[in-house]
Amino acid sequence: MQEKRWHRFYDKHVPKHIEYPNWCIFELLDRSTVAYPQNIATFFFGRKLLYWELASLTNSFAKSLQQLGIDADSKVALLLPNFPGYLIAYYGILKTGAVVVPLNPLYAEEELEYQLSDSGVSALVTIPQFASKACKLAQKLRLKFVVISSISAYLPWHLRIPFWFKEKAQLKEVDVNVPVYFLEKLVSKKYIDFKPVRKDPSELGVLIYSGGTTGVAKGIMLSHFAVVANAMQIAAWGDLNSNERILAVLPLFHGYGMNVCMNAPIYSGMSIILLPRFNPKLMAKTIHKYKPTMTAVVPTILTALANLPDISRYNFTSLKAVWVGAAPLTEATKDEFEKKAKCKVIEGYGLTEAVTAQMANPYKGVHKVGSIGIPFPDVDAKIVSLEDGVTEMPPNTPGEIVLKTPTVMMGYFNKPEATEEVLKDGWLYTGDIGYMDDDGYFYITDRKKDLIIVGGFNVFPSEVDEVLYKHPKVKEGITVGIPDPYKGEKIKVYVVLKEGVEATEEEFIEFFRKHLAPYKVPSEVEFRKELPKSAIGKILRKVLREEEIKKMKEPDGETAK
């Protein structure tokens, strides 16, 4: 790639170009195991798993899956939180040649059913907490089997026994006719002569679901090569090495968590401190006790940590950097956290259609507040006209951010038309509106579509609208994302009720809870007699959003009359 204006701002340790090997994803683990067999791969509430142990367990799981009929033509879903079993399942599945399909375990059954059916998985791996839901879906979709992994098996003794009783009670709720196997039993047998199935790295490795840049959830096809290349880009940018530790609080089923918190650290021989869920006090205690050198978060996590009343009790100085992405970061949030935690925040940008991170501010060089940074090695980026989608815009002029990267997706699964909308002549059209300054630093100013980002999670209004219109009292309504100082955005629904009926906000929110994942549930419901519409009768979402922004600017919080 030719010299770019942003290259002069690269830190000294960052190359302009990386030679990417033709590896499969599991080779990130196996090669680090050869180099650092005694390094700690994972910490889980104090319990350690070494690299050689993790690699051995993945081999055993892969062989067991093969004996159960999983092969290179299969897909296997993960319905798991962050714990060592996730890594065993993830790399183990890949070693069979099968495709990993990470799913959000907090999704409602109907959302999971769509993704399991759409992807065509043969089996799934879960934990006792989600076993009842998983087995019902497996039976309904006629999957071959379900594997259940026990979190308690990876806990230290003082935590293991009470958690084991909890899991035992959860398993009693499973009452369906589907073959069930237990991961810890499957991996108890060692296979010294096992050899992983090595696919062509250009083939599909991970099918990860995301709202994408338009429409409802789509399967994003990521090749082995793309995932490996992105892990190497992240490692190069952060100067990662085998003496470091990362705190993984972001879910590993998300592209951001998968590569920043798992694949890049594994490639680097690092230790991963796993937390199954975010709790600000638990995260602060974990940083204080286990001293990670880096972590990756979304802005809401920074806000929650900064708002801890006793944050001064915890020592965060081991962190050389906190990576932040997936949602806009305000200057106030950044400043408050850096002041209280005494560590540097590095804002970046990425999207699952390119695996994850594609830009970031330099570690040691010029950091521009409000900027998403500069492109990674081998990533080209430009701003194109919103009118024709082709004309390159000059610096400081808004347009759509487009990327050319070695980590670009293969396309959307079984959606060629949607793929053609975002992949054009080798460029990935992100759907984000922004600009590039004279130095090559990029900024996001708006979104091309109506995507709502709630605490780093993508929510499309159409998903909520679809549920809204299932309510028997609704005449018409619409979902809008409005600014929120904590979550970045929150979801508000405007409803016009049918004639002669009454309803409450609580009634609607409870209805949404039954049909949507928790982060997709609206925070507010406002009832109106009519909604603003265009000349052709289209409800104007933009007008409602502007009304909310205007309210926020009024001194008394009410719209001026």
The encoded tokens of residue 88 equal 């065993």
Total count of residues recorded for the chain: 561
Compute the C-alpha angle 153/159/162, nearest 5°: 90
The predicted pLDDT at position 556 comes to 59
Nearest to 255 by CA among 479, 111, 48, 408: 408
CA distance 355 to 221: 9
Dihedral angle sign, alpha carbons of residues 164, 170, 174, 180: negative
DSSP codes of every residue in 380-406 = EEEEE-TTTS-SBPPTT--EEEEEE-T
pLDDT value of position 561: 33
The residue ranges of the chain whose pLDDT is under 50 are 212-215, 535-536, 558-561
418 assigned to some structural domain: no
Paired strand residues for 278: none
* Inside any domain, residue 76: no
CA distances (Å), origin 429, targets 327, 371, 515:
18, 19, 31
**Quick one: pLDDT at residue 447?**
67
Residue 87 in any domain: the answer is no
Q: Per the domain annotation, does 230 fall within a domain?
A: no
| Domain-located, residue 406 | no
What backbone torsions phi and psi does residue 244 show, to the nearest 5 degrees?
Answer: -100, 165
Residue 338, in any domain of the structure: no
Residues ≥6 apart with Cβ < 8 Å to 271: 39, 40, 41, 42, 43, 244, 245, 246, 265
pLDDT at 336: 85
The reported pLDDT for the residue numbered 555 is: 64
Domain count, the chain: 1
Residue 327 lies in a domain: no
Rounded to a whole number, what is the distance in angstroms from the first to the last CA of the chain? 56
What's the token pair of residue 216? Answer: 């409802």
Residue 345 included in any domain: no
C-alpha 373/C-alpha 362 separation (Å) is 7
Residues 6+ positions from 309 with CB-CB distance below 8 Å: none
Q: Which among 345, 344, 283, 293 is positioned nearest to 318, based on CA atoms?
A: 293
496 is in which domain, residue-wise?
452-553
Q: Give the CATH number, domain containing residue 458.
A: 3.30.300.30
> Which residue has 């070693």 as its token pair?
95
Q: How far apart are CA 95 and CA 167, in angstroms?
A: 28
* Six-digit token string for 338: 């850096």
CA dist., res. 454 & res. 298, Å (int): 10
Distances (CA, A) of 54 to 183, 193, 446: 13, 16, 43
- Which strands form 474-484's sheet, in the order they lie side by side? 474-484, 488-497, 524-527
Q: What is the dihedral of CA 275, 279, 282, 288, to 10 degrees?
A: 90
Q: Could you tell me the two tokens for 21?
A: 């090997």
Token pair for 65: 């899956």
